[in-house]
Chain A
Amino acid sequence: DAGITQSPRYKITETGRQVTLMCHQTWSHSYMFWYRQDLGHGLRLIYYSAAADITDKGEVPDGYVVSRSKTENFPLTLESATRSQTSVYFCASKSQDYTEAFFGQGTRLTVV
């Protein structure tokens, strides 16, 4: 299917475990982003990538790791999950500087 997809849609994990959230886009967009959405904080940027092998920190990067070996994939890894990382995670992509961003459906992560 064309577009941007996230997997899994729902995930429950235990404190201290490593978990990876996947994001895949079929448009060959250059830019990709990871946001988390929490009540009272809105959407906050975790990491972003301008192209394959180029990543940079956003507003709340601590505890997260990203990689971008292929243009279409941008996985987000929580190295040792904590309860404070319970959130809804959104991946987004855009093609160039002055274009609109498109979002995936989100992954609801619960850390117990």
Chain B
Amino acid sequence: KQEVTQIPAALSVPEGENLVLNCSFTDSAIYNLQWFRQDPGKGLTSLLLIQSSQREQTSGRLNASLDKSSGRSTLYIAASQPGDSATYLCAVRGGATNKLIFGTGTLLAVQP
């Protein structure tokens, strides 16, 4: 059974810092991995999707990497801003179905 873990569970950084969020999964046979952002009381906003054949994806200040063999993905946020404060979730799609298995998230607080 696929299990997805995100470390740390919470992170507080001063504005301007570069930071890395981690996501690990137990079964390397995934189709793709997706990073989401969730603001309090809101839905999930898709940030980046990495296919299993890709090593990384970039969108603005965000860069996500994928190492399938080691079961890891990282989300790198450059020059963090208070507006980046949110919960970040990773989800993997594995097997023949389209089910996404989620990690429990990292709560990020960027202090002004």
Q: Residue on B with the closest CB to A58?
A: B99
- Taken together as a complex, chains A and B put the C-alpha atoms of A33 and B98 apart, in Å, by 9
For the complex, is A48 an interface residue (Cβ under 8 Å from B)?
yes
Tell me the total A-B contact number using a CB cutoff of 8 A: 54
- Taken together as a complex, chains A and B put the C-alpha atoms of A31 and B43 apart, in Å, by 18
A82 to chain B, nearest CB (A): 23
Q: A48-B99, A102-B46, A103-B43 are in contact. Are A42 and B31 (CB under 8 A)?
A: no
For the complex, is B100 an interface residue (Cβ under 8 Å from A)?
yes
> A42 contacts B102, CB within 8 Å?
yes
For the complex, is B44 an interface residue (Cβ under 8 Å from A)?
yes
Q: Which of A35, A43, A50, A92 has the most CB of B within 10 A?
A: A43
- Taken together as a complex, chains A and B put the C-alpha atoms of A65 and B49 apart, in Å, by 30
- Taken together as a complex, chains A and B put the C-alpha atoms of A91 and B30 apart, in Å, by 22
List 14 A-B pairs, Cβ < 8 Å.
Answer: A40-B104, A42-B102, A42-B103, A42-B105, A43-B89, A50-B98, A56-B97, A90-B44, A97-B31, A98-B32, A100-B34, A101-B46, A103-B45, A106-B43
- Taken together as a complex, chains A and B put the C-alpha atoms of A100 and B101 apart, in Å, by 13
- Taken together as a complex, chains A and B put the C-alpha atoms of A66 and B105 apart, in Å, by 27
What residues of chain B have their CB less than 8 Å away from a CB belonging to chain A?
A: 31-32, 34, 36, 42-46, 49, 51, 89, 91, 97-105
> A48 contacts B98, CB within 8 Å?
yes
B44 to chain A, nearest CB (A): 4
Q: Residue on A with the closest CB to B6?
A: A42
Query: How many residues of A are in contact with the other chain, CB < 8 A?
Result: 26
> A98 contacts B31, CB within 8 Å?
yes
Q: A42-B104, A43-B89 are in contact. Are A100 and B98 (CB under 8 A)?
A: no
Q: Residue on A with the closest CB to B48?
A: A100
Q: Residue on A with the closest CB to B100?
A: A101
- Taken together as a complex, chains A and B put the C-alpha atoms of A44 and B89 apart, in Å, by 13
- Taken together as a complex, chains A and B put the C-alpha atoms of A40 and B104 apart, in Å, by 7
Q: Mark A62-94, 1 if CB is under 8 A from B, else 0.
A: 000000000000000000000000000010101
B90 to chain A, nearest CB (A): 11
> A43 contacts B34, CB within 8 Å?
no
